[in-house]
Amino acid sequence: MPRYIVQRTFDGGLHIPASDEGAKTCRAVDGGNAGFGVNWLHSYVSLDKTKTFCVYDGPTPEAIRQAAETNGVPVDQITEVSVLDPYFYH
């Protein structure tokens, strides 16, 4: 399955508490993704919490956009990527 980096901007900042409520929010996103065959792997959040860089597996960029719309989260850019790590040549 293709892998993507999804860039998002949250004007007021992304605030998901480290609590049961935050866990519930993340589970709801996973549930919204499932209907589109999209799997959220993890995200990187800028220090000011206004930008995220999310790693997803999914069938197409359109499926990721549809899942984002279902979840009520913005999408600035979707880029298909491949993995390169320091052990690639070993």
Does any domain span residue 22?
Answer: yes
Specify if 88 maps to a domain.
no
Residue 87 domain flag: no
Q: Say which amino acid occupies 3.
A: R
- Cβ contact 40:57 at 8 Å: no
* pLDDT of the residue at 18: 85
What is the number of domains present in the chain? 1
Q: Is residue 57 part of a domain?
A: yes
Cβ proximity of 73 and 8 under 8 Å: yes
Given a contact cutoff of 8 angstroms between Cβ atoms, the answer to whether 83 and 3 are in contact is yes
E strand or H helix that includes residue 10: none
| 19 belongs to a structural domain | yes
Full pLDDT tens readout for the chain, 90 residues = 999 999 999 999 988 878 898 888 888 889 999 999 999 999 999 999 999 999 999 999 999 999 999 999 999 999 999 988 888 776
CA 61 – CA 39 distance, rounded (Å):
12
Instruction: Please state the pTM of the whole predicted model.
Output: 0.87
Range of the domain at 32: 3-81
Residue 30 sits in a domain whose CATH number is 3.30.70.3090
Is residue 90, in this structure, part of any structural domain at all?
no
